[in-house]
Amino acid sequence: MAEKVRTSFNLNEPILVQYGSFLKNIFTGDFGISYEYHIPVFKVIWEYLPFTFFFALSSFILQITLGIKLATFIARKKKPNPGKIADALSLGIYSIPTFIIGIGLIYLFSVVLNIFPSADLYSTGFNEKSLVGKAAEIISHMVLPLISLTLPGIVIFYKYSKEIIFSFRESNFIRYLYSEGVKEKVIYSGHIIPNILPQLISLSVAELSILLSGALITETLFNLPGMGRMTVTAILQRDYPLIVASTLVSGTMVLACNFLGDILRAAIDRRLTKEVYH
């Protein structure tokens, strides 16, 4: 049996021949058979990838939306106390590791209060429920993982957005709008927020690429069927073909996000395009 496995993976060949075969398989999309699942590697990845896309994009939308809204709320407050409290809380949240946040949420909301499930995407008897019942159960199972994954990101977007808002608010253009009696709500929604969004592209791209490459800790902690948990399981099971393929897919998504970010920055700021041609 061992000899059969060595032959199927060209392990009896010289190392250069093995490496050449590996490169050929990469360009043809053939990563072999998973040791653990006994099916082609990419079939395993396509089974877990959709959930990671949904999970990552949901968390990303919450992060950037709530982060900017919180920064805007604090910036519009005339008194310094709300800002000091928000800064202290954000620093405390950001300094706590993700798995500690997740464990704390499980203990509070699953063990003590028994409000939300502690793990998995759905429970037994899921297939017997109606469409509305299935949706409600999935949502209830996703609340704690989303909070755990999203909280640190909200802090990042809040801190970065607040700094940009405060610096942009001191510009002559914004001061002129205030002097003309333009309502503060209009100034923020029509001028400040649209002007800070392009400056958040780099941060957004970095955060999204991290989320898409696999939320290893969160997916493993809550036993969710995503790329993160799949990769951890593959490492523990020494499923080398699956490890290599999942690493390549994660790296490709990071590169794709950065490429998309460059395109967006160039489309928004024409000066970048002129620098390339000059």
Q: Output the domain CATH number for residue 228.
A: 1.10.3720.10
What pLDDT is attached to residue 213?
A: 65
SS3 labels along the chain = CHHHHHHHCCCCCCHHHHHHHHHHHHHHCCCCECCCCCCEHHHHHHHHHHHHHHHHHHHHHHHHHHHHHHHHHHHHCCCCHHHHHHHHHHHHHHHCCHHHHHHHHHHHHHHHCCCCCCCCCCCCCHHHCCHHHHHHHHHHHHHHHHHHHHHHHHHHHHHHHHHHHHHHHCCHHHHHHHHCCCCHHHHHHHHHHHHHCHHHHHHHHHHHHHHHCCCHHHHHHCCCCCHHHHHHHHHHCCCHHHHHHHHHHHHHHHHHHHHHHHHHHHHHCHHHHHHHHC
117 within a domain of the structure (yes/no): yes
264 within a domain of the structure (yes/no): yes
What pLDDT is attached to residue 62?
A: 92
What pLDDT is attached to residue 274?
A: 58
The predicted-structure confidence for 120-130, as pLDDT tens digits, reads as follows 888 777 777 88
Percent of the chain at pLDDT > 90 equals 6
What pLDDT is attached to residue 262?
A: 78
What pLDDT is attached to residue 144?
A: 92
Number of domains within the chain: 1
272 within a domain of the structure (yes/no): yes
227 within a domain of the structure (yes/no): yes
Domain range enclosing 98: 25-277
What pLDDT is attached to residue 249?
A: 85
39 within a domain of the structure (yes/no): yes
The ranges of the chain with pLDDT < 70 are: 1-2, 5, 7-10, 78, 80, 213-214, 269-278
What pLDDT is attached to residue 246?
A: 87
Whether the model pTM is above 0.75:
yes
